[in-house]
Each structure stands twice: as C-alpha cells, then as structure tokens.
Amino acid sequence: MKTVLITGATSGIGLGCARKFAANGDRLILTGRNAQRLEDIRKELTSKGTEVLTLLFDVRDREAATKCIENLPAEWKDIDVLVNNAGLALGLEPEYEGSYEDWDTMVDTNIKGLLTMTRLVVPGMVKRDRGHIINVGSVAGDAAYANGNVYCATKAAVKAITDGLRLDVAGTAIRVTNLKPGLVETNFSNTRFHGDTERAANVYKGIKPLTGDDIADVAVYAANAPEHVQVAEVLILATHQGSGSVIVRK
C-alpha cells in the first residue's frame, strides 16, 4: 500500500486518479479548492475502505500549500507518490489578444504550483531514497497549436521541469514520469471557455475523446511498475487524434 498525494483531485484526471489508486489499495491525500467536492469524494472512497485525507488549498497559494504539507499528521508524512495534476487552460485567442489574468493563472497553476508541490514533497522522498513523481503534462507541450500559445508553453515547461527532476534524482531510487494526454473530456474545455458550455461541448463533437480514467490507468501502471522500471514519459491520444492539432472528426 502506497500513500499517494493527488493535486486537483476533485474532477477530471485528478478524480480518475483518486478512484483508480483507491481501487489499487492505496491510501490517498487529496487536494483541491472545492471543500464540498473534497468531502463528497472522501465519503465515496472511505465507504469502500480507502483511507483518505483531504487538504483544502489552491496550489497557487504557496503559503497555504506549505502550511498543509508541513503540518501533515505523522502517519501521513511519508508520501510515496506525488501526482501533480492540478492545471488548466484559459482562453483560446491569438497571443497578441490574450488576457493578462488568464496568463497569470495558467503560469501560476501549471508551472509554479507544480514546482511548489515538488519542492515540498520530494525532499522527503530523497531522504527516504524512494518515491515517484507523476506530472500531468500534455501533448500541447510537444508543439504549439493555433491560439494555444501560453497554455502550450506551460506544458512545455512541465516537460522540461520533469526531465530536469529526473536528472536531479538519477542517483536515487526515485522515479519521475510525465503523462501527456491528448483530447480528454473533463471540465477542461468548460474552464478554458469561462463556462461557455456550448463552445466547450463542440470540442468533443465527432470524436470519442479520452476520459480521466484512461489517464489514471496509465498513472497507476507507472506507479506499480517493477522498481527497476521507470516509465519516463507517455503520450496518450484518442484513436482519431494524430497530434495536438490533428483531430479527425466523423
């Protein structure tokens, strides 16, 4: 049984990871910004026998994140797997028309939030000489697509940060994984379009997209590979998606 910390665990890929790691027999530390959703998920999983600890904070708030992690109960401090999932896209405009506020939110969440959680959790892994960091990147980190500019840049940063961390811990037994999903049907598009549900729904028309559970399956596989096996990077696409910008709709 592992202790698994998942950020952004109240929906989408994070929720999928929570359920799949729970089914794997692990115990969970779940973080998010929505207190009611965290409580609902805690009740759902504990009713099935999973130990769950919830932490209410936004990964952009370094002070709150630090307070929560530093004050974990003693029996929860030894985190085996960190799933840096919290992230989002906002807006789909040409770079020269982008929103400063959207840019700040994406950079602060997707890059700085991931770095904060890594800085808080990984030193303990290094001290114990064991652990696994799973960062949720994106196919968008491989190549920019039209109007995706800053979001794509943040996911390219996730790739570079993940690769850099893997080098930094190469002398330890710690493993580092970058998951790069393609089109996944979650709240992602609804968030990107600031609640425009009709526009968000159009993103998935004509293709069967991935689900949060599909990505969670890969995360659980990576975390449970033999100790000498490091799943460094996985690109997961829907069958009719060729790249971040090539989607065949039928």
> For residue 217, is it within any domain?
yes
Q: Give per-residue pLDDT as tens, 176-228.
A: 999 999 999 987 777 887 887 888 778 888 999 999 999 999 999 999 999 99
Instruction: Classify residue 248: in a domain, yes or no.
Output: no
Rounded Cα distance between 213 and 218, Å, is 9
**How many CB atoms sit inside 10 A of residue 141's CB?**
23
CA 145 to CA 143: how far, in whole Å? 7
Q: Give the residue numbers marked as catalytic.
A: 151
Burial label for 75, CB within 10 Å (0-12, 13-18, 19+), is exposed
Task: Give the structural domain span for 98.
Answer: 3-236
Q: Are 132 and 222 in contact (CB under 8 A)?
A: yes
> Is residue 50 in a domain?
yes
- How many domains, in total, are found in the chain? 1
Instruction: Dump pLDDT digits (tens) for 20-71.
Output: 999 999 999 999 999 999 999 999 999 999 999 999 999 999 999 999 999 9
Residue at 243 is within a domain:
no
Residue 247 located in a structural domain = no
CATH of the domain at 35: 3.40.50.720
**250 lies in a domain?**
no
Matching residue, tokens 């009713």 = 47
Where residue 10 falls among pLDDT bands split at 50, 70, 90? very high
Q: State the Cα angle at 84 between 69 and 23, rounded to 5°.
A: 90
What does the alpha-carbon distance between residue 200 and residue 6 come to, in Å, rounded to a whole number?
A: 25
Q: What pLDDT score does 59 carry?
A: 98
In three-state form (DSSP H/G/I as H, E/B as E, the rest C), the secondary structure along the chain is: CCEEEECCCCCHHHHHHHHHHHHCCCEEEEEECCHHHHHHHHHHHHCCCCCEEEEECCCCCHHHHHHHHHCCCHHHCCCCEEEECCCCCCCCCCHHHCCHHHHHHHHHHHHHHHHHHHHHHHHHHHHHCCEEEEEECCHHHCCCCCCCHHHHHHHHHHHHHHHHHHHHCCCCCEEEEEEEECCECCCHHHHHCCCCHHHHHHCCCCCCCECHHHHHHHHHHHHCCCCCCCCCEEEECCCCECCCCCECCC
Task: Flag whether 246 is in a domain.
Answer: no
According to the model, what pLDDT value does residue 212 have?
Answer: 96
Quote the pTM value.
Answer: 0.95
The rounded Cα 66 to chain-centroid distance in angstroms is 19
Looking at residue 1, its pLDDT comes to 93
Taking only the tens place, the pLDDT of each residue in 125-162 is: 999 999 999 999 999 999 999 999 999 999 999 999 99
Instruction: Point out which residues pair with 52 in neighbouring strands.
Output: 28
Q: pLDDT band at 120, cuts 50/70/90?
A: very high
Residue 27 lies in a domain: yes
| pLDDT tens profile 69-109 | 999 999 999 999 999 999 999 999 999 999 999 999 999 99
